[in-house]
Every structure is written in C-alpha cells, then in structure tokens.
Amino acid sequence: MRRRILQSTLLVVAITALVLGGPLAVTTWQLVEDITRADLTSRLEVIAERLEEQPSAVDPSTLALAVPVTGRLTLERPGEPSRSFGADTGADPVTETLPFALGGTITLTEPRSIMRTQQVQVTVIVLLLVVISIGAGTIVATLTARRLADPLRDVADRAARLGAGDFRRTPHRHNIPELDRVSDVLDTSATALAELVQRERALVGDVSHQLRSRITALTLRLDELAAHPDPDARREALAALEQTERLSDVLDELLEASRAARAAGAEPMDLREGLAAVVEEWRPALVQAGRTLRLRVPEGLLARVTPARIREAVGALVDNATQHGGGTVTISARSGDSLLVVEVSDTGPGIPEELVPHVFDRGVSVQSSTGLGLALARALVEADGGRLELSRARPPTFTIFLPAARADDVVAAPRPPTATPR
C-alpha cells in the first residue's frame, strides 16, 4: 500500500516537473537572448541620437560610452568608409543593426559566448529549482504514504483480528476523520459481536443444561416403567428409553459439532513462539509504565489451538494485568497430564474477594474499564476447547488449560516450502 501511494505520488510529481520544467527551461533560454538583443538595441538608439546631434564630426570617446566593454560598434555612411569602435567580437557574434540619418547604419555586436554563459547559468538555476521541487515532492510523498499506509494497515489488522474473534476495543486513533470513523465502526461492531457471542454461548449452555436435566429425569422415569409387571408397558418403556438415549447421543453430537466449527482453524502451535509475539506486543506498554514483562516457556510445547485466538486471549490477560495489576507480569507454560497449562500472573494486590466469583462476568470491573476483557478471553479459550480459570486471587494468577497437539496433527501440519536453487 505504501509503495503504491509513493509511486503514484512520485509519478505525478515527475510528470509535473517535466511538463513545467522543460518548457520553463526553454523559455528561460530564449528570454536571455531576447534581453541581450534588447539591450543592444537600446544602446544603438542612444548612439543614433548622439550621431544625429553631431552629423559632421564623430567623437569616438562619446560613442565608446554607449558601447559594451566586450562589444564592437560599426558605423557606415553613404560615400564614407566604414568605421569600427571597440574590441573584436570573434566569429558568429550577437548582432543588432539600426539605420540612422540619410542611409546610414550602425551595427553593434557582442561575443555570443557571453550570452551563452548567461543562458547556461539561468537554465541551470531553473533545472536546480525543478530538482529541488522533485526532492520536496518526494519527501511529501513519503510522509503522505506513511501517514496513509500505516493507519490503513492498522485498520486492516483490526478487521482481521475481529474476524479471528478478538473483540477488544482499541482507543488509538489516527487523526484522519475517515479512518477514525472506520475505527469507531469497528469498535461498535466488536462490542456488538462480543455481546452476541456471549449471549450465544450462554444460550447454548443453558439449553444444553436444561435438555440434559430433562433427559436425565425422563430416563429415570422410563427406567422405573421398564420394571413394570405389565409386558406391554415394559416393552413401550424400553422403546422410549432407547429413543431417549439416541436423543442424548444426538445432543452430544450437536454440541461436539458446534465446538468443532468454532475450532475449525485450530492447528499445532509452538507456545514459545506464539507467546513471544504477545510479549513483543505488550512489553513497550509495561516498560513505559516502569514495569517488566517476562516469558518463561520451554521449547517443544505444541498446543492444538487457533493461533490468533490464543494470542488475543493471553493478550487480554496481559492487558488486564497492565491496567489493574502491579509489578512484574509473567507468562509461563508447562505440560500437564493431558493438557498444556499457560499461566499469566503479576505481583499486584490481587482481586477483591467479593469480585472473585464474578471476575469472568461481562461488565464486571475493578476500575472504570468495560469489563469485557476477561469474559472475551474465556470465550476465546473455550472456543478452541480449552479452559480459563482464576487459580489464585492474591497475587492474581490466571490459568489456561489447552489441548495438546496430537501426533497426527503434527504429521498432517503443512511444512513451510524450502528454498530451491535457481
């Protein structure tokens, strides 16, 4: 984007410089010659006036005052020999002739090299101004391309994160009304999508819980009817019990399909590499606040997750520690029994006791923030089949349990293309 903007702007500057600079240089070249000839003509007019005042005798000292230092004056009268005053002007001089009196002429010449020198000097100045204009245009084009490309890239990244499930609001603006408007719309859309996802997950959880409760109660009643002494009643009860078990299996399959759809982008990810990107993103903010961000993740931990989701979930936890915590923030990871464990902790005062049961509820916040960060972090982790919990309130430690990559995931993962010799 930046290169295209820069190229188009420089192309316009170059075309403008050529369209204006070329004709301006030619015009300046011709203008110097016109000025030189006009100066010679004006000198001839002065000389003609003096000759008309002295028709019989010519005073060379009087005429020499009107002749340029490097010029030569030639006087011709009918019936008289030609007379010349001044220095030799060489071959192909600049010549101007003016008639006077009765058939007489005066000719004033000047070396053409003097005029050429002035033409070259003025033309070089014009071309230098054109080059300076192109340089200034290049600087302006570079600054403009950077001012436009960086915000556009940032807005595109925000849109991509929104599509990946990162619904955090971004207060940063670019002082460009159109792009700031897009950022406002993205923030509004992120909030709306976050609320929609939370309602959807809550609805799915509630419906699943209610259905399982009703199916369990129905199964117990049918088990009782299956022990009825009436053979017909017992047969119908067993048939209904079989249908109830099928309904329970269908419910499990639907919930599993829903989880698989949400985790469609899951792939093996090296936790050390993925979490290092989170550290690079958030370290400047903590350093600016006089705090430290540490990463303690051993090599070889492969989780089966959606990389964008886990990075945004851990980023939301680091953001929470930046705003509400204190001291050093630590991101660590280890291998559990069948899961991978990621912990985000700080050395701050911790979470008030009354907020511990509601820390992941939407809208709950210690300070004046939106209260969406932790709720969204849990939603992102659960979307990949993981789990996010508050394992310790003081000092605060949030623990993420992630599914480990299976052997077939690692084998099926696409390898980066290797360079081939040309």
| Tokens matching residue 195 | 């609320």
Does residue 17 register a pLDDT over 90?
Answer: no
Q: Say if residues 110 and 71 touch (Cβ distance below 8 Å).
A: yes
- Tell me the C-alpha distance between 278 and 312, whole Å: 8
pLDDT score of 92 more than 50: yes
Whether the upstream peptide bond of residue 395 has omega within 30° of 0, thus cis, is: yes
Query: Out of 165-174, 364-373, 406-415, which region has the weakest mean confidence (pLDDT)?
Result: 406-415
pLDDT band at 102 (very low <50, low <70, confident <90, very high): low
Tell me: the pLDDT tens digits for 283-298?
998 999 899 999 999 9
Q: Which residues are paired to 402 by β-bridges?
A: 340
Residue 126 has pLDDT above 80, yes or no: yes
Question: CA–CA separation, 87 vs 67, rounded Å?
Answer: 10
Give the three-class secondary structure for 331. Answer: strand
Q: Say whether pLDDT at 379 is over 70.
A: yes
C-alpha–C-alpha distance, residues 238 and 247, integer Å: 14
Percent of the chain with pLDDT over 70: 83
Window from 37-46, 124-133, 171-180 with minimum mean pLDDT: 171-180
Q: Which residues pair with 340 in a beta bridge?
A: 335, 402
Distance, in Å, from the CA atom of 161 to the CA atom of 277, rounded to the nearest integer, reads 14
Look at residues 127, 146, 128 and name the one whose alpha carbon lies nearest to residue 4.
146
Rounded to whole angstroms, how far apart are CA atoms 382 and 255?
13
Query: Lowest-pLDDT range, 70-79, 107-116, 164-173, 220-229?
Result: 164-173
Q: 351-376: string of b/e by CB count within 10 Å (b at 16+)? A: beeeeeeebbebeebeeeeebbbbbb
For 225, the token pair is 């009817």
CA distance 308 to 164: 6
User: Which residues are within 8 A (CB) of 282 and not within 5 positions of it... i.e. 6 or more apart?
Assistant: 293, 315, 318, 319, 322, 329
For all residues of the chain together, what is the average pLDDT? 80
DSSP letters, 1-46, are -HHHHHHHHHHHHHHHHHHHHHHHHHHHHHHHHHHHHHHHHHHHHH
Higher per-residue confidence, 257 vs 370: 257
> 219 versus 275: which is more confidently predicted?
275
pLDDT in tens, 235-292: 888 888 888 888 888 877 777 766 655 555 678 889 999 999 999 989 998 999 899 9
What is the pairing mode between strands 293-296 and 329-335? parallel
pLDDT digits (tens, 9 = 90+) for 301-349: 899 888 888 888 898 899 989 888 889 999 999 987 778 999 999 998 8
CA atoms within 13 A on the CB side of 71: 24
| Predicted local distance difference test score (pLDDT) of residue 67 | 79
CA distance 95 to 90: 12
What is the pLDDT confidence band of residue 369, given thresholds at 50, 70 and 90? low
Query: Is the pLDDT reported for residue 11 higher than 90?
Result: no
Which pLDDT value is given to residue 350?
85
Q: Residue range 184-193: average pLDDT?
A: 77
User: Is residue 396 pLDDT above 80, yes or no?
Assistant: yes
Q: Identify whether the C-beta of residue 305 lies closer than 8 Å to the C-beta of residue 384.
A: yes
| More confident of the two residues 368 and 231 | 231
Contact 361, 377 (CB under 8 A): no
Residue 295 confidence (pLDDT) = 93
Give residue 422's pLDDT band: very low, low, confident or very high (50, 70, 90).
very low
Q: Which of 290, 404, 271 is nearest to 344 (CA)?
A: 271
User: Per-residue pLDDT for 415 more than 60?
Assistant: no
pLDDT category at 417 given cuts 50, 70, 90 is: very low
DSSP string, 356-389: GGGTTSTT--SSSS-S-HHHHHHHHHHHTT-EEE
Model confidence at 41: pLDDT above 80: yes
Q: What distance in Å separates the CA atoms of residue 145 and residue 82, rounded to the nearest whole number?
A: 70
Angle between the 231-262 and 177-226 helix axes, to the nearest 10 degrees? 160
Q: What is the pLDDT of residue 259?
A: 62
